[in-house]
Every structure is written in structure tokens, then in C-alpha cells.
Amino acid sequence: MQTITNSTVEYLKNQLDKPFTDSISPSTLLLAGTLKHIGVGEAWVDYPIKHDLTNPVGMIQGGFLAAIIDDTIGIAFFSMEPEYMFTTTNLNVNYLFGARKGETVRAKANVIRMGKKIANFECKVYNLKGEVIASSTTNLVVTTVKAMSFIDL
């Protein structure tokens, strides 16, 4: 039996439990996530709810929660080593609970279907009690831009 290897997943496995500090994505740096699990088409990332991500009452602002979801889906997408970049065409988020400044949330994203033109992912965000605070689905569409590899960065 032949073993299939994925250099992006192997690279990301070496990043487990380390905060993203050298990402080429400024938004990933702002969100300050820590990769907790990676597999082909799936990623789990913990994000601290920092003051900069909160609304006036100290809860995570909905747009930043959507950014956490989009960021985690992006990591899950890259784990599949696509030939071309995809871009988000829609992001449907169901906000169920909030998270306060100082708390940590875990986003878990996985691929539902990876087609040649459209990719579909889902993501759930949990508080540390294991309660779902947001759930989402998204579609991404292929672009003409060649995908980059984490290995080449």
C-alpha cells in the first residue's frame, strides 16, 4: 500500500501549539491564533479574545468572529495543496453565543466538497466549555492565481 504524503500538512504539524507569528497574512497575525490540529482538509485553531477584537461591552465583535472562521477555513483549504487560489464568495455565519475579552475560542473547519471550480467548507467555533458559539458554511471559487505553498514561504 502506498502512503500519500502532503508536505503542507507535515509543515503545519510542526507548527502545532505555536502561535502564528510569521504568517504572510496580516489578518492572521492580528487574530493571533494557535494551531491545535491539522489534517488534509481540516484545521483547528485556538484564538484569544483580545481587547482589539471586542465591542463596547467586552464581547467579541461579530465581524472578528467571522474573520476567525474565514482564517481557519483558509488554513484547512491550504492543507489540501490546491493548484490555484480560491476566494471566498459567501460566508454564512450563525451567531449563537458570545465570548468575552480574555477567553479563548476554538475554531474547527473542514472541507465538505472540493471541486474544480467551487469548494465548500464548514466551520464551528466553540468556547472552552465546548459550547458552539458560531457555526458557518462558505463557498470559495477558483481564481487564476497559482496557489502558494507554505513550504515556499
User: What is the predicted pLDDT for the residue at 150?
Assistant: 47
Q: Which residues contact 42 (CB under 8 A, 6 or more apart)?
A: 76, 79, 108, 109, 110, 111
pTM for this prediction? 0.88
Provide the 8-state DSSP code for 102: T
Residue 101 and residue 50 in contact, taking contact as beta carbons nearer than 8 Å: yes
Superfamily of domain 7-152: Hotdog Thioesterase (3.10.129.10)
User: What is the predicted pLDDT for the residue at 41?
Assistant: 94
For the chain, give every domain's residue range.
Answer: 7-152
Minimum mean pLDDT among 1-15, 25-39, 61-75, 113-127: which range? 1-15
The torsion angle over the Cα atoms of residues 57, 137, 108 and 56, rounded to 10 degrees, is -10
- pLDDT band at 6; cut points 50, 70, 90: low
Is the pLDDT assigned to residue 153 strictly greater than 60?
no
User: What is the predicted pLDDT for the residue at 64?
Assistant: 97
User: What is the predicted pLDDT for the residue at 39?
Assistant: 93
